[in-house]
Chain A
Amino acid sequence: MAKILIDEERCKGCELCIPACPKHIMVMAEYFNKKGYHPAKQIKPEECTGCTFCAITCPDVAIEVYK
């Protein structure tokens, strides 16, 4: 059991967390945040292993990981 929390307002929509996830469960949301970026979002949360790869890749420290 693992989960991630994305701080959507910190996210700059750079998409770097997408290829970083070995489970391919990171995607970009359709909507915009206040800064005008599409924030990252996780699909299929049940598949998340808490490996932290998305978080360590994020240049804006927008992701927290729980395990």
Chain B
Amino acid sequence: MKKVFESPKSLTKDPFTYCPGCHHGIAHRLVAEALDEFGVREKTIGVCPVGCSVFAYVFFDCDMICAAHGRAPAVATGIKRAKPDSIVFTYQGDGDLASIGTAEIVHTANRGENITVIFINNAIYGMTGGQMAPTTLVGQVTQTSPYGRDPKTMGYPIKVAEMLSTLKGVAYISRVALSKPAYILKAKKAIRKAFQSQIEGKGFSLVEILSTCPTNWGLSPIEANKWLEENMIPYYPLGEFKTPEEVS
């Protein structure tokens, strides 16, 4: 018998410190598989954010740096400009990317920086204990929207993939989910495409990954997957928003 599935080389052996059922682990693995498959682990520099995945530097077996909250795209810009032959990715949560780091992500995308962004949209601030994120759904109860997100005063959830795909400098953007095997296989393809686009020098690529935070959603991992499919996917449609072919 042949081994047909094992932990990718681009992950260390350290067990993840994420909560049971948290999708961060699946997303990490898919990124690591892409690095393995393209054979780029040894020239990759990853940028981890401030958020639950601040510990990503432990889990990825490649050079890593931790950016300040929201600033990963700027740090990645500095790295990629200084070392254009390296493969650079950021791994960011929705508080990190879509709230405090909005300026950095928009302008990094707009400059068409040739980096890959892995964007974990779990509709919440995980690390700080479940506050409202810019991606929190209307009506969703969080610590800072205890009566549900009221769009009148709290705005509507930001659709990052759609918003950024309007920028000309962007080569590849798609939105995927991880709540069932079929989605995970598609997510894997999308992440591969994003890195491929970087390897081919096409410019900025981003994969928005709809993810669960069972702990702060107050749901079991299985219930969380269901909640994601019933509530997030209808608002955040899956699919590709921009592909390299569209870049002239």
Contact = CB atoms under 8 A, between A and B. Distances in A.
Touching chains A and B, CB distance < 8 Å? yes
Interface in B8-23: 11, 15-16, 18-23
Interface string A26-67: 000000000001000000000000101101111111011111
B184 A56 contact: yes
Contact of A65 (B4, B24, B184, B188): B4
A12 B220 CA distance: 12
Contacts of B220: 15
Contacts of A50: 4
Contacts of A67: 1-2, 4
Interface residues of B, number: 30
Contact of B5 (A19, A59, A60, A65): A65
B20 A64 contact: no
Nearest to A66: B1
B218 to A, nearest CB: 15
A31 B181 CA distance: 27
B26 interface: yes
Nearest to A20: B181
A65 to B, nearest CB: 4
Interface string A1-36: 111000001101111101110000000000000000
A2 B1 CA distance: 7
B4 A12 contact: no
A61 B29 contact: yes
Contact of B225 (A16, A58, A61): A16
A64 B29 CA distance: 13
A14 B21 contact: yes
Nearest to A57: B181
In this complex, the member of B18, B20, B221 whose beta carbon has the largest number of chain A beta carbons within 10 angstroms is B20
A56 B20 contact: no
Q: Which of B15, B29, B214, B221 has the most chain A CB atoms closer than 10 A to its own CB?
A: B15
Contacts of A2: 1
Contacts of A16: 21, 221-222, 225
A39 B21 CA distance: 13
Contacts of A14: 20-21, 214, 221
Contacts of B4: 50, 52, 65-67
B152 interface: no
A55 B181 CA distance: 9
B21 A59 contact: yes
Contact of A56 (B2, B181, B221): B181
A1 B1 CA distance: 8
B26 A59 contact: yes
Contact of A60 (B3, B25, B184): B25
Interface of B: 1-7, 11, 15-16, 18-26, 29, 180-181, 184-185, 188, 214, 220-222, 225
A-B pairs, 3 with minimum CB distance: A59-B25, A14-B21, A12-B20
5 contacts: A16-B21, A20-B180, A56-B5, A58-B25, A58-B26
